[in-house]
């Protein structure tokens, strides 16, 4: 009996010394205990040239290369592609240069000589919380940026004077001119006239079907629609001049997502020698005030609506998450993608897209990654929920 107990103890010691396979349940994909460092399993390859037939040195350098690649994959998941390229030197010097500090432990899956190279494959337990913290400290975790000036904007403002429609386009032109000066792409007056024929601004401001129709005709991404209304104020005490007061009310709509991203209204007065000139001066001034407000918030609001959050459940590890992100980045509709968070098998991915709505991306998710069965469970204006089955 004593011999059996002794053998069991020795076997346990031997197994502990070998280290064994990193336990996925210890990682962010599992259930970490409070205070426990957050880690994740990553499989990575490394190689090194064999010099002077020194296998030991080649193996050492191949292992270091594999560890670096494991950390680099982690960086690639949490840093968007554009930032990774732009800040390559910073990432190399500040993150990849201290690879050892991010690898908790590893297991060699395969290794050996292939011609003049020594190749090795490892399964490493990466301290993703530490990697994320250092990336954030370096300012490398900012979401991918979309140039909002590349979006095509249609401005449709119906002018009214004393209750009657005026077709000179005073308010519309004042808004459009301000946006053009800031390098936004504005649909031309001729294009607008053809697309909005027989439609009123109220239709475009409130009817999503009409918005989609006009957006398709104009290939526009954003619609600014509303009314600029002028009413007689007074002609007393102005030395023969006339005063009008105008109010402009407008909405900014992201057409493909049918999303209202901003709305506001402003008033201003105008004076002229005639009622017509005074009314149009007030229309122009009200629109100019609105334009100043609009350009202050437009870029930020457009950026916020160019992002789609894709939540994927049952993600096995960082390699699988990396495959999903690479697949998203490969879509023609996607500008860039990066993980926002990954914990207990659930990944939140921030996707930048100025070309598609969520339905288009959701339809492509099931066939996104070879050998991965992705099922979409919910789609809204800015969110997609899916799981790997």
- pLDDT tens-digit readout, 162-192: 999 998 999 999 999 988 888 888 888 777 7
Token digits of residue 241: 């001049």
Check residues 34 and 70 and name the one with the higher pLDDT: 70
CATH number of the domain where residue 258 is located: 3.40.50.10610
Query: Where is the domain boundary, 75, 103, 137?
Result: 137
Q: Is residue 87 part of a domain?
A: yes
Q: Is residue 16 part of a domain?
A: no
Residue 335 scores a pLDDT above 90: no
Domain enclosing residue 343, as ranges: 307-388
Q: Is residue 71 part of a domain?
A: yes
> Same structural domain for residues 343 and 297?
no
DSSP, residue by residue, 18-68: H--S--GGGBTTS-PPTTPPPBEEEEEEEEEE--TT-HHHHHHHHHHHHHH
The structural domain count of the chain equals: 3
Q: Is residue 1 part of a domain?
A: no
Residue 384: which of 324, 344, 335 has the closest Cα?
Answer: 324
> Same structural domain for residues 177 and 250?
yes
Residue 201 scores a pLDDT above 80: no
CATH number of the domain where residue 360 is located: 3.30.70
> Same structural domain for residues 299 and 313?
no
> Same structural domain for residues 170 and 269?
yes
Query: Where is the domain boundary, 274, 304, 334?
Result: 304
Q: Is residue 10 part of a domain?
A: no
> Same structural domain for residues 283 and 347?
no
Lowest pLDDT segment from 6-10, 82-86, 155-159, 212-216: 6-10
Rounded Cα distance between 215 and 167, Å, is 21
Q: Write the pLDDT tens digit of every residue in 21-53.
A: 444 333 333 334 445 678 889 999 999 999 999
Structural element, H or E, at residue 12: helix 2-18
> Same structural domain for residues 164 and 131?
no
Q: Is residue 210 part of a domain?
A: yes
Q: Is residue 14 part of a domain?
A: no
> Same structural domain for residues 182 and 216?
yes
Mean of per-residue pLDDT scores for the chain: 82
Lowest pLDDT segment from 128-137, 352-361, 376-385: 352-361
> Same structural domain for residues 51 and 100?
yes
Residue 54: CB atoms within 10 A of its CB come to 12
CATH number of the domain where residue 61 is located: 3.30.1660.40
> Same structural domain for residues 180 and 267?
yes
> Same structural domain for residues 313 and 183?
no
Rounded Cα distance between 357 and 329, Å, is 15
> Same structural domain for residues 208 and 83?
no
> Same structural domain for residues 275 and 179?
yes
Is the pTM higher than 0.75? no
Of the chain, the percentage scoring pLDDT greater than 70 comes to 84
Token pair 């005030």 is found at 289
Q: Is residue 167 part of a domain?
A: yes
Q: Write the pLDDT tens digit of every residue in 336-367.
A: 888 888 888 999 998 887 655 688 888 888 88
pLDDT value at position 18?
41
Query: Where is the domain boundary, 252, 286, 304?
Result: 304
């Amino acid at each position: 009996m004593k011999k059996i107990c002794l053998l069991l103890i020795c076997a346990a010691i031997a197994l502990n010394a070998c280290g064994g396979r990193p336990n996925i349940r210890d990682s962010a994909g599992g259930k970490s205990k409070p205070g426990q460092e957050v880690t994740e399993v990553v499989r990575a390859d490394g190689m090194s040239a064999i010099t002077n037939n020194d296998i030991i040195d080649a193996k050492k350098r191949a292992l270091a290369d594999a560890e670096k690649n494991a950390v680099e994959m982690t960086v690639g998941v949490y840093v968007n592609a554009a930032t990774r390229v732009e800040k390559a030197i910073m990432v190399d010097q500040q993150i990849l240069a201290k690879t050892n500090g991010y690898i908790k432990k590893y297991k060699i899956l395969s290794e050996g000589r292939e011609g003049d190279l020594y190749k090795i494959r490892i399964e490493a337990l990466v301290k993703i919380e530490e990697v994320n913290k250092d990336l954030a400290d370096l300012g490398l975790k900012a979401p991918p940026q979309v140039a909002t000036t590349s979006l095509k904007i249609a401005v449709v403002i119906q002018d009214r004077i004393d209750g009657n429609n005026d077709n000179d386009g005073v308010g519309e032109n004042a808004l459009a001119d301000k946006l053009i000066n800031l390098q936004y792409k504005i649909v031309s007056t001729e294009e607008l006239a053809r697309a909005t024929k027989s439609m009123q601004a109220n239709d475009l401001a409130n009817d999503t079907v009409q918005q989609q129709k006009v957006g398709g005709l104009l290939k526009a991404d954003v619609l600014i629609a509303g009314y600029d209304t002028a009413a007689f104020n007074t002609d007393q005490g102005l030395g023969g001049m006339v005063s009008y007061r105008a109010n402009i009310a407008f909405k900014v709509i992201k057409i493909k997502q049918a999303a209202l991203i901003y709305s506001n209204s402003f008033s201003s007065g105008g004076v002229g020698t005639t009622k017509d000139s005074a009314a149009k001066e007030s229309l122009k001034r009200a629109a100019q005030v609105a334009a100043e407000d609009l350009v202050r918030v437009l870029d930020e609001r457009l950026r916020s609506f160019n992002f789609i959050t894709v939540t994927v459940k049952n993600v096995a590890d960082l390699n699988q998450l990396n495959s999903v992100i690479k697949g998203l980045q490969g879509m023609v509709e996607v500008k860039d993608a990066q993980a926002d968070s990954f914990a207990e098998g659930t990944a939140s991915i921030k996707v930048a897209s100025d070309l598609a709505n969520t339905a288009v991306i959701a339809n492509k998710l099931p066939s996104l990654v070879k050998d991965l069965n992705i099922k979409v469970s919910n789609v809204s204006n800015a969110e997609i929920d899916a799981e790997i089955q």
